[in-house]
Chain A
Amino acid sequence: MHETTLMQNLIATVMEAVEKHNVTRVNRVVLSVGKLSNALPDALIFAFEALTQGGILQGAELEIEYLPVIARCRACGREYQADGFPIICPDCESKNFTIISGDEVYIKSIDIDCKKE
């Protein structure tokens, strides 16, 4: 459900860029989604399509790239990719860690057509 909130923020951010750059059409929005973000791709796409009806973003493709979860072991300091739960250091097997990345949701880029000057 909070995917709708994320997509509202996405549309507001893209619309700022659209206004700033005289954009005539948005072809694609590339979104980076961390695997720990609790954001479901199907729900993101559904919300994006529903919220962009009738506007300049209608018909734009939402491309989702996944970001792995990177943790740093608090026992031995190693940084490692965590592929599931529980998260365990592959070197020292400690379960104490700090998440470095993997919970973010951000717009990476947009592909646009602009008005010719």
Chain B
Amino acid sequence: MARLDIKQDLKALNNAIAAENREKFASHNIYVINVMGSPGAGKTTFLENILPELSKHIQVVMIEGDLATRNDALRIEKTGVTALQINTNGGCHLDAKMIENQIQKLNLNSIDLIIIENVGNLVCPASFDLGEDMRMVIVSVAEGEDKPIKYPIAFLEANMVVITKTDLLPYLDVDINVMKKYIADINPEAAVFETTKKDGVYKADEVVEYILEQVRKKKGK
């Protein structure tokens, strides 16, 4: 019997394609956001509400990840933003190859921002680089204040965390400051925002401003 040393990284293939995607985005000055969160965190609702605002200033395209349906892409298209759908057929995450396949369909010269909505799951998507500039985690207050410490890896690698559904706080036994402390414990550098819906109006102005700033920074380089 012989021992053969291999030393082959099993994520190497994904990472290599992610690096190619990143280079392609950089050469076209496109900022890319990878949005992650549990099912029901409010990812699509958040996007539906910020896209019309973002679209006033920049050209945005969405890539929607979902196990089985086109539901989310249809919701996004109602905002007037182009949405490409990836169905993973049960797969728990998007990978860099799926993104590479989608961006071939786009005219990258006319795009400022691509937002990728990952499959609803806080575990697996965190392990797959897609070539993004920013990782955004969406977490709703209804999921419980300890979500960040229960799923630390997703929060560890997030550049931005959006806490949704804060209008539900009066009805929940959840302390949003505890949730924020947990986020800061794991990742003190993440920019943390809140969204709320009051009297039928969704409020996410600060998030929109922050995203526009990031897009402009990349354009400016």
List residues of A whose CB falls within 8 A of some B CB: 1-2, 5-6, 9-10, 13-14, 17, 21, 27, 36-39, 85-87, 95-96, 99, 103-114
What is the predominant secondary structure among interface residues of chain A facing chain B?
A: mixed
A sample of 13 more A-B contacts (CB under 8 A), given A2-B92, A96-B189, A105-B10, is A2-B124, A21-B4, A38-B123, A38-B124, A86-B186, A95-B188, A99-B156, A104-B11, A105-B9, A107-B10, A109-B3, A111-B1, A111-B2
Interface size on B, residues (CB 8 A): 30
A38 CB contacts on chain B under 8 angstroms: 123-124, 126-127, 153
User: Do the beta carbons of A106 and B10 come within 8 Å of each other?
Assistant: yes
Flag if A105 contacts B6 (CB, 8 Å).
no
Q: Given A36-B153, A38-B126, A85-B152, decide whether A107 and B185 contact each other with a Cβ distance below 8 A.
A: no
Q: Decide yes or no whether B95 CB sits under 8 A from chain A.
A: yes
Chain A nearest CB, measured from B27 CB (Å): 27
User: How many angstroms between the C-alpha atoms of A33 and B24 in the bound complex?
Assistant: 30
Interface majority SS on B: helix, strand, loop or mixed?
mixed
- Mark B residues whose CB is within 8 Å of A: 1-11, 13, 91-93, 95, 123-124, 126-128, 149, 152-153, 156, 184-186, 188-189
